[in-house]
Amino acid sequence: MTKQAAVAVKLPGPGRPRSEEAERVILDTTMQLLVSEGYAGFTLDKVAAQARVSKSTIYRRWPSKEHLVIAAFDRTPPLTPADKGNLVEDLVNVVLEFINIVRTTALSAALPVLVGERAKNPALAEAFDPWLERRRMPVKQIVERAIARGDLPAGLDLNTAEDMVMGPVILRLFFYGKGDLSRIAVRELVSRAVRGMEGSV
């Protein structure tokens, strides 16, 4: 009934404790290799070799390559939902921050693959979806505050709003190589999305 076990602090128990150092090095190496080699060239053997760690040490912590990748991305800092009281500008800022993260990490290469795998791998979905949901929070929070302020109608579904804001951005980011994602272009997309949110269906 309780999910405490999952969160519970690992009790010492007998036996040699897992090295936190190893965990950190593995995740760092994972991130670095994803960037330098791309997802396709990313290999657990390479991670093990470069991190000076055995493959068992990796598999003891994460059940598959994909889980490791998700864990690595999980450490990227969360988006900070700026609150200047201006809906459009707040959204633009958080979107640009997201774009920047995607471009500097290997997310653009890895995310599609993870998405593809998730479809048929329930175990992966279990790790992936919370991460994704966490990534969606900032936009939702900004929209929520705007509703509270009365800038947006009360009946607006937060998920729908998020889809409208991020959908076009993600399309340009992942699907089209050369989509315009300058601040100006983003502001147009966001402005139009916000306009679409106003009023009832």
What residues numbered 131-150 form the site for a copy of itself, per CB under 8 A? 132
Pair 156, 143: CB distance under 8 Å: yes
What residues numbered 31-50 form the site for DNA, per CB under 7 A? 41-46, 48
Question: Which of 40, 45, 150, 154 touches a copy of itself by CB under 8 A?
Answer: 40
Binding mask 44-83 for DNA (x = CB under 7 A): xxx-x---xxxxxx-xxx-xxx------------------
**Closest distance of CB 8 from DNA, Å:** 14
Shortest CA distance to 186 belongs to which of 82, 84, 76, 100? Answer: 100
Q: Rg of the chain over CA atoms, in angstroms?
A: 20
Binding footprint of DNA, residue count (CB under 7 A): 29
Phi-psi region of 199 (alpha: psi -120 to 50; beta: other; left: phi over 0): left
Binding mask 112-131 for a copy of itself (x = CB under 8 A): xxxxxxxxx----x---x--
Is there binding between residue 170 and a copy of itself (CB under 8 A)? yes
Residue 140 interacts with, from DNA, a copy of itself, none (CB under 5-8 Å by kind) = none
Considering beta carbons, is residue 5 or 119 the nearer one to a copy of itself? Answer: 119
Q: How many CB atoms lie within 10 A of CB 2?
A: 7
Residue 130 interacts with, from a copy of itself, DNA, none (CB under 5-8 Å by kind) = none
Pair 30, 64: CB distance under 8 Å: no
With 0-12 CB in 10 A as exposed, 13-18 as middle and 19+ as buried, what is 22?
Answer: middle
Shortest CA distance to 39 belongs to which of 116, 133, 130? Answer: 116
Close Cβ partners of 146 (under 8 Å, ≥ 6 residues apart)? 87, 152
Question: Which of 17, 77, 150, 155 touches DNA by CB under 7 A?
Answer: 17
Which chain residues interact with DNA by CB under 7 A?
A: 12-19, 22-23, 41-46, 48, 52-57, 59-61, 63-65
